[in-house]
Amino acid sequence: MIFLFYLLSTIMIVCALLVVFSKNPINNVIYLIMCFIAMAGHYILLNAQFLAVVHIIVYTGAIMVLFLFVIMLLNLNKAIIIRKSTVTRVSAVVTGGIFFLVLLAATRQTFEIDAKYPFNSEIGLVSGIGKTLFSEFLLPFEISSILFISAMVGAMMFGKKDA
Amino acid sequence: MKELSSAIQLIPLENYIFLSVALFSIGMMGVLFRRNTIAILMCLELMFNSVNLLLTAFSAYHSDPAGQVFVFFIMIVAAAEVAVGLSIVVMMKRNVDSIDINLLNRLKW
C-alpha cells in the first residue's frame, strides 16, 4: 500500500513539473489531467470515494475540458515562444525551491498527529458526506448557488463583444 | 474495503504533508515562471489541489467529515474561478490579441 502511495506521488510530481516546464498548451492540459487522475487515486487511498468521483467529474471532466475549449477556440495550440527573461526564470525556480525548503523545515517536526478518534471508514462515503453537508453545512451549500449565478453572470459580462 | 481502510493507517500523515508542500511549491514556481495566462491559471489549479489533498488527508486521519465537505466547497469555488478567469483570458485575447501576462502591467506600478 505504501508502494501505491509512492507510485501515485511520483506520477503527480513528475506531471506537475511537466505542466510547468513544457511549452505546448495542449501538452500542459494533458499532463495536468494525468496529475489529477493520480490525485483521484490518492483520494481513493484515503477512503474518500465521494471526493474521488467528484474530482474526476469536476476537474478532468469539466474544468480541463473548459481549458481545452478556450485553447482551441483562441487557436493557441501551437507552442508559443513567450518566455520571461532568464533572470526571472532562474529566480522563479530558486524562489520555489526556497519556499519548498522553508515549508518542509516548518512542518517536519511540528506535527505530532495521532488519530484522536477511532478510525471510521464510513466518513468518506456518499452517505457520510451527504449527512454532514445537509445538516451542518446547509446554509453554505445554498449560498454557493448564489456564487455560481454571480460567476455565470460575470463570465457572460466579460464574454460580451462590446463589454 | 476493510483491508483498504486498515492499510491507510500504514502511511504516515507526514508523507501527505510533504507531498502537498511539494505540489504547492511547484504550482507557485509555475505562477512565477510562465508568461502564458492559461498556464498560470493551470498552475493555480495545481495549488488548489494540493490544499485539497492536505484537507482530505487531515479529515481522513481525524475521522471528521467536515474537512471533506470543505474540499467540496473549494471545488465549487475553483469551478467559478476558472469560469471567470477563462472569460478574462478570452477578453484579453480579443482586446490586445495576445495572452502574454506582461502586456497587462498598467496596474503594476
Domain ranges in chain A are: 1-79, 122-163
The ipTM assigned to this model is: 0.88
Least confident of A18-22, A74-78, A117-121: A117-121
pLDDT in tens, B15-54: 888 999 999 999 999 999 888 889 999 999 999 999 999 9
B62 touches chain A (CB under 8 A): yes
Confidence of residue A117 (pLDDT cuts 50, 70, 90): low
> Is B94 inside a domain boundary?
yes
Confidence of residue A118 (pLDDT cuts 50, 70, 90): low
Q: How far is CA B12 from CA A2, A22, A97, A114, A144, in A?
A: 9, 33, 24, 10, 34
B61 touches chain A (CB under 8 A): yes
Position with higher pLDDT, B89 vs B98: B89
Task: Report yes or no on B51 lying in a domain.
Answer: yes
| Assessment of whether the complete model's pTM goes beyond 0.90 | no
CATH top-level class of A1-79:
mainly alpha
Q: Is A56 on the interface with B (CB under 8 A)?
A: no
Query: B81, exposed or middle or buried, with CB in 10 Å at 0-12, 13-18, 19+?
Result: middle
At residue B9, the pLDDT reads 66
Higher model confidence: residue A88 or residue A139?
Answer: A139
CB contact A61 to B (< 8 Å): no
Question: If pLDDT is split at 50, 70 and 90, which confidence band does A114 have?
Answer: low
pLDDT of residue A81: 64
When pLDDT is cut at 50, 70 and 90, the band that residue A163 belongs to is low
Give residue-wise pLDDT tens across range A87-109. 888 898 999 999 999 988 888 87
Please judge whether A5 and B11 are an interchain contact, meaning their C-beta atoms are less than 8 angstroms apart.
Answer: yes
pLDDT of residue B62: 81
Which B residues 25-54 touch A at CB under 8 Å?
A: 25-30, 32-36, 38-39, 41-43, 45-46, 49, 52-53
CB distance A47–B14 less than 8 Å?
no
Number of domains in chain B: 1
Cell 504547492 sits on residue: B24
Does residue B109 belong to any structural domain of this protein? Answer: no
CA within 13 Å, CB half, A40: 16
Q: What's residue B60's pLDDT?
A: 85
Q: Is A13 on the interface with B (CB under 8 A)?
A: yes
The whole-number pLDDT of residue B82 equals 92
**pLDDT score of A35:** 94
CB contact under 8 A, A147 and B77: yes
Chain A residues within an 8 Å CB radius of B42: 19, 28-29, 32, 67
> Out of B65, B75, B82, whose CB is closest to A54?
B75
Lookup: cell for B71: 474540499
Q: B36 pairs with which residues across the strands?
A: B100
- Confidence at residue B96, expressed as pLDDT on a 0 to 100 scale: 83
Mutate which of B4, B33, B41 to test chain A, going by most A C-beta atoms within 10 A? B33
CATH code, domain with B65: 1.10.287.3510
CA distance B108 to chain A (A): 16
Look at residue B108 and tell me if it is in a domain. no
Q: Which tens digits make up the pLDDT trace of B56-86?
A: 988 888 888 888 999 999 999 999 999 999 9
- Mean pLDDT over residues A49-71, rounded? 91
Residue B96 touches partner A, C-beta closer than 8 Å: no
Whether residue B3 is predicted with pLDDT greater than 70 in this model: the reply is no
Q: 3-state SS of chain B?
A: CHHHHHHHCCCCHHHHHHHHHHHHHHHHHHHHHCCEHHHHHHHHHHHHHHHHHHHHHHHHHHCCCHHHHHHHHHHHHHHHHHHHHHHHHHHHHHHHCCCEHHHCCCCCC
Mind telling me how many Å the CA of B18 is from chain A's nearest CA?
A: 7
| Residue B20, domain extent | 2-103
* Whole-number Å distance between alpha carbons of A4 and A15: 17
